[in-house]
Structure 1
Amino acid sequence: MNRAFLPYVKSLFVAMVAVSSVAYAAEESKAPKADPAKGEAVFTSMACIGCHGPNGNSTIVQNPKLAGQVEQYIVKQLADFKTPQRTNPVMSAIAKTVSDVDAKNVAAYLSAQKPAPGAAKNKDTVELGKKIYRGGIPEKNVPACAGCHGATGNGIPAQFPRLAGQHQEYTIAQLTNFRAGTRNNSVQMTTIAKRMLDDEIQAVADYVAGLK
């Protein structure tokens, strides 16, 4: 290609990207905003409270607390439950009856709720959990959990979920499922979990439960 022509090509490419970005932003602005009030109605009418508790604060350790969870994460998980990437006899069946609009409304409602605090239970492993969460396991190429989920476990909106205060049992189950490949909707988490032993998973889960 003629080198004199390269600046023109580059400028054209930049212009195309800019136009695409503007078009995408315009489409986003046209999308209806999520309605938390409608989300609450769906959450209540579908008996989600039975498993996830009032306002999303589950008291059943096998079921996750959803109050205060990252909105986009909830939407993604409901979508994933409709696919083989993440299967659960109860949630897969329920998710298939939830429309995209209802999923966004429910997520908006739950993300706005105040999460109930949790607590670490095992004082013998809390330091190990803290070490892994904050610094990872360098010799195994396990990154610090805080790098994605935040120093206080509150997650990063639109990217990574909130972990703070989550039931130990639920977190252990999910990390174990990632490691076994029975949950495969995150390549990153599958890769990380495969490098962790049971005691390391348990320690991290316990430490996370005590974050606020």
Structure 2
Amino acid sequence: MLSLWIPQGLTADADRGQTLTQTCIACHGADGNSIAGSFPSIAGQNERYLLKQLREIKSGARAALLMVGQLDSMSDQDLADMAAYYASQTASGGGAAKADLVEVGETIYRAGIARKGIAACSSCHGPDGSGNDSAIFPALSGQWPEYTTAQLKAFRSEARANDGDAKMMRSIALDMSDKEMEAVASFLYGLR
């Protein structure tokens, strides 16, 4: 299945990827663990998901204003190598979640919101938030709550629309309140 995302004959090289990520350090940290909630921590993220996002940011299919131009000169091999490097790193993110939001966030993450027809987040992103690399669903555990909330809001407004023809994330986010988004994000930040 990986051949659907990495062209035949292309083998990702994490060591080479590290050398290509020097300009990424300012936002994503030296090893992919960002130090600010406005930038995602990408260390330990699923490789196929990272490659998909890099390709879509480069092509413009995913809007990421701070990334504009950063990937323009990168080849598909470069993107694959960068994805392999970040996927090979250890995520150190996560921390104390907002206690008043955790219980609600955990309920939404594990059971969904039945009255709104929202499925459990864990059905795609896993019970521990590690995602599903073969299905290209991202790991979410330990991610900055500011970033997670911003992405959910972007899906809701359709400013982010790279979730495929099924519009899975856009459909889910459309029916979530800001408070529900913040609760899930807070729970995920503390999930390990």
Normalising by structure 2, what TM-score? 0.91
- Which among 15, 18, 27 is matched to residue 37 of structure 1? 15
The percent identity for this pair of structures is: 40
Aligned to 1:48: 24
Gaps of 5+ in 2: none
1-side partners of 2:90 and 2:60: how far apart? 31
1:107 aligns with 2:87: no
2-side partners of 1:127 and 1:61: how far apart? 22
Residues 169-200 of structure 1 deviation map (CA, whole Å, 9 limit, x = unaligned): 00000000000111111111111100100100
Instruction: Tell me the amino acid that sits aligned with residue 143 of structure 2.
Output: Q
Residues 140-174 of structure 1 deviation map (CA, whole Å, 9 limit, x = unaligned): 11110000000000111132001010000000000
Aligned to 1:74: 50
Distance 1:168 1:29, change over 3 A: closer
- Which among 150, 165, 181 is matched to residue 201 of structure 1? 181
Distance 1:107 1:197, change over 3 A: same
1-side partners of 2:147 and 2:132: how far apart? 20
Superposition pairs of residues 1-212 of structure 1, within 5 angstroms = 30-44=8-22, 47-158=23-134, 159-186=136-163, 187-212=167-192
How much does 1:56 deviate? 0.3
How much does 1:39 deviate? 0.2
CA contact (8 A) 1:120 1:126 kept: no
2-side partners of 1:83 and 1:192: how far apart? 25
Root mean square deviation of aligned Cα? 1.8
Instruction: Tell me the amino acid that sits aligned with residue 128 of structure 1.
Output: V
CA contact (8 A) 2:33 2:93 kept: no
How much does 1:89 deviate? 2.3
Moved more, 63-72 or 75-84: 75-84
Q: Which structure's CA Rg is the greater one?
A: 1
CA contact (8 A) 1:120 1:207 kept: no
CA contact (8 A) 1:142 1:192 kept: yes
The size of the alignment, in residue pairs, is: 186
How much does 1:29 deviate? 9.0
How much does 1:49 deviate? 0.5
CA contact (8 A) 1:133 1:144 kept: yes
CA contact (8 A) 2:62 2:161 kept: yes
Moved more, 76-85 or 141-150: 76-85
How much does 1:79 deviate? 1.2
CA contact (8 A) 1:67 1:113 kept: yes
Gaps of 5+ in 1: 1-20
More relative contact order, 1 or 2 (CA 8 Å, 6+ apart):
2
1-side partners of 2:81 and 2:7: how far apart? 16
How much does 1:90 deviate? 2.2
Runs of at least 4 residues off by over 6 Å: none
